[in-house]
Amino acid sequence: MTSIKKQLPLEEITDFDAVVIGAGFSGLYMLHRLREDGFTVRVYEKGDGVGGAWYWSRYPGARCDSESIYYNYTFSEELYKEWTWTSRYPEQPEILRYLNFVAEKLDLRRDIQFNTEITGAHYIEEYNKWRIFFKDGSSVTAKYFITGMGCISVNATNIPNFKGIENFEGKWYHTGSWPHEGVDLQGKRVGVIGNGSSGVQTIPVVAEEAEQLYVFQRTPQYTTPARNHPYDPQYIKQAKENYHKMKKMVRESMAGVPLQFGEGSALEDTPEERRNVYETAWQKGGVISYVYRDLLSSEEANETVNDFIRSKIRETVKNPKVAQKLMPTYYYGTKRAVIDTNYYETFNRDNVTLVDVKNAPIEEIAAKGVRTADGEEYELDILIFATGYDGMTGPLFKLDLRGKDGVLLKDKWDDGAQVRTHHGLATAGFPNMFMITGPQSPSVAGNMPIAIEQHVEWISDCLNYLREHDIKTIEANVDAEENWSQHCKAVSDETLYSKSESWYTGSNIEGKPSSFNIYLGGYGPYNQMITDMASKGYEGFTLR
Ligand code: N01
């Protein structure tokens, strides 16, 4: 802390009411709300454009798994009606165009500083200010510090520490920071490591372009058909007319989309009835974990949907040995449920080879390609890491983020083993700091823009309240965050999520403690809770 004080005086530093990290869905709306309310705000963005994860994730096939007409802001009828989505699932360039449209329409760019990376933020108690540091060593101060990096961030891509990567003579890329000029895969021998949402999307597209594709699979993946298609203009017209109904529905829903969750148990139906239910959902496209109420809470029920998807793999993949290698065994839906266009079909192509790196792990990235433990070497020109992110806490921990007494957030949360938040919005010891879709909020348990809107609106209402009541500091109480963390855990312990390994639990990152930090009680009920908390004078916070 002494070093921070030495760099004062603060009065020589630019000061804002609020500083926000990141110009994605979160940062853009936060800026708009606070600016409308008369606060001085600055958003700092590492990239040279808006879009957040959608600015960086330009890999072939990148597309969202939420339906377009719900994957947008709902706060403005005008914005909703002016923008027209072209297909059921929006592809990355279209989402980027949408966010640029919003930035333009709301004149946001004048308060965003691009090409500027925040490296840390320190709370300075004697001034009751946050000092925010940039990569070039400069800094600004703000009364409020708001994180808008989301649960996955380009700052926290996961590139496994394979031996020898520096010797690889080909080119390698991570899906989450893809070159803007694109990558020519024509005639190339390409390897893809990973088959989460990114891998499953990119593999079929890469297979069509590359001469040869090797898919390095550690854990086989359940995926269901997206059944993407261009939107019928009549459908879009109707969606726009239904704006108010849609807004209410998604905001009160469990997952930010108007999905009707099944009321019955999978175990109450006969095998034939179940198969019909699953088949109908499979033909409709999208995730199918919602069709019965207990698919994500009962191992036995979950196994019925797993069996169904495995039967689809068997039917689709012609080579029975390859089909066998593709058979997943984990609990469907407990990692982010993946949807695809031709994923399993791709393994019928002559130019695609599935490599099982669970049984024979990658030992080394050699000069010419990937070497596995069984002595095989796969010669490659291009290696694609679809290996995901150090998610949830990762983007926060990459920052030198210090609260009272110079305590590092990473230390307070014991590297992620002891995450403590008040409803995922704030944490004790870090006054006047807010996290948009922070750990222990519903965040990735649904359609993110809706979760983001809930938090942005709550935070801006809160700052207005503080200003109106001449309150200088808001800080989460230790007992409130303890209660919330326990509640969050109790809810997830009722489900199969906490029994699975995924980036949700942190188990994808070597050495990271496993801990599940998503609130699974549903977007609508959660919003009601944080609204009630605010109406009780910000219950569980100390206001000074
Ligand atoms: O990352 P992931 P992602 N050796 O962590 C494998 C959002 N998103 O970028 O399962 C070999 O899901 C790993 O294997 P395993 C969305 O929220 C959304 O795909 O750990 N393999 C796994 O197969 C999503 O959930 C969209 O055994 C290794 C893969 O890499 C989140 O981003 C699109 C390995 C990582 O999968 C992350 O998805 C894209 C190793 N050492 C992303 N390390 C849409 O909206 C990791 N793997 C559609």
Secondary structure element (H or E) that encloses residue 281, with its range: helix 271-284
Say how many Å lie between the CA of residue 153 and the centre of ligand 1.
Answer: 13
Among 206, 331, 336, 356, residue to substitute to test ligand 1 (most atoms within 8 Å of Cβ): 336
* 357 pocket-lining for ligand 1 (C-beta < 6 Å): yes
Segment 354-375, tens digit of pLDDT: 999 999 999 999 999 999 999 9
* Residue ID of nearest Cα to ligand 1 atom 36: 196
Tell me which DSSP letter residue 231 carries: P
The pLDDT, as a whole number, for residue 2 is 36
Pocket test for ligand 1, best of 198, 224, 339, 502 (most atoms within 8 A of CB): 198
Mean pLDDT across the stretch 112-131?
97
Nearest residue CA, atom 34 of ligand 1? Answer: 387
Q: Residue range 392-397: average pLDDT?
A: 98
Site to substitute for ligand 1 among 222, 503, 505, most atoms within 8 A of C-beta: 503
Q: From the CB of 341, is ligand 1 less than 6 Å away?
A: no
Our answer on whether the CB atom of 198 is closer than 6 Å to any ligand 1 atom is: yes
pLDDT, tens digit, for every residue of 235-247? 999 999 999 999 9
**At a CB cut-off of 8 Å and minimum separation 6, what does 170 contact?**
368, 369, 380, 381, 382, 383
Rounded to 10 degrees, the C-alpha dihedral 307/286/394/357 comes to 40
Burial (0-12, 13-18, 19+ Cβ within 10 Å), 486: exposed
Contact 234, 242 (CB under 8 A): no
Three-class SS string for 90-147? CEHHHHHHHHHHHHHHCCCHHHEECCCCEEEEEEEHHHCEEEEEECCCCEEEEEEEEE
Residue in 359, 508, 510, 512 to alter for ligand 1 test, most ligand atoms within 8 A of Cβ: 508
Q: Is 386 in the pocket of ligand 1 (CB under 6 A)?
A: yes
Nearest residue by C-alpha to atom 22 in ligand 1: 194
Question: Could you give phi then psi for residue 248, rounded to 5 degrees?
Answer: -65, -45
For residue 5, the model assigns a pLDDT of: 41
**Distance between Cα 484 and ligand 1 center (Å):** 28
Tokens of 272: 């034939």
pLDDT at 120 over 60: yes
Arithmetic mean of pLDDT, 275-302: 97
pLDDT score recorded for residue 154: 96
**pLDDT at position 138 over 90:** yes
User: Does residue 12 have a pLDDT over 80?
Assistant: no
pLDDT at 382: 98
Q: What residue's CA is closest to ligand 1, atom 37?
A: 388
Please work out whether the CB of residue 328 comes within 6 Å of at least one atom of ligand 1: no
The answer to whether residue 277 scores a pLDDT higher than 50 is yes
Q: What is the mean pLDDT of the chain?
A: 96
> pLDDT over 70 for what percent of the chain?
98
One-letter-per-residue 3-state SS of 154-220 = HHHECCCCCCCHHHCCCEEEEHHHCCCCCCCCCCCEEEEECCCHHHHHHHHHHHHHCCEEEEEECCC
Tens digit of each residue's pLDDT (9 = 90 or more) over 410-435: 999 999 999 999 999 999 999 999 99
pLDDT tens digits, residue range 21-76? 999 999 999 999 999 999 999 999 999 999 999 999 999 999 999 999 999 999 99
Confidence (pLDDT) at 204:
98
Confidence tier at 13 by pLDDT (50, 70, 90) = confident
Q: Check residue 119 and give its pLDDT.
A: 98
**Positive or negative CA dihedral for 392, 395, 398, 404?**
negative
What is the structure's pLDDT at 4?
A: 45
Q: In this predicted model, which residue has the larger pLDDT, 512 or 4?
A: 512
* CB 219 less than 6 A from any atom of ligand 1: yes
Spacing, Cα 165 to ligand 1 middle (Å) = 20
Q: For 464-508, what is each residue's pLDDT tens digit?
A: 999 999 999 999 999 999 999 999 999 999 999 988 999 999 999
Give the closest residue to 122 by CA, choosing from 395, 509, 473, 402. Answer: 402
> 486: which DSSP letter?
H
Ligand 1 center–CA 338 separation, angstroms = 10
Distance CA 193, CA 360 (A): 14
Q: Which atom of ligand 1 is nearest to the CA of 160?
A: 41
Nearest to 54 by CA among 85, 20, 89, 98: 98
Give the model's pLDDT for residue 260.
85
ipTM of this predicted structure:
0.98
Torsion, Cα 489 492 493 496, to 10 degrees, reads -150
What percent of the chain lies above the pLDDT cut of 90?
97
Give the angle 393-496-395 at the CA atoms, nearest 5°.
Answer: 10
State the distance from the centre of ligand 1 to the C-alpha of 388, rounded, in angstroms.
Answer: 4
pLDDT tens per residue across span 197-238: 999 999 999 999 999 999 999 999 999 999 999 999 999 999
CA of 389 to the centre of ligand 1 (A): 7
CB 141 within 8 A of CB 10: yes
Q: Give pLDDT tens digits for 301-330.
A: 999 999 999 999 999 999 999 999 999 999
Model confidence at 6: pLDDT above 60 = no
Q: In whole angstroms, how far apart are CA 76 and each of 4, 247, 513?
A: 41, 10, 40
Q: What are the pLDDT digits (tens) for 254-263?
A: 999 998 889 9
In the prediction, which pLDDT does 68 show? 98
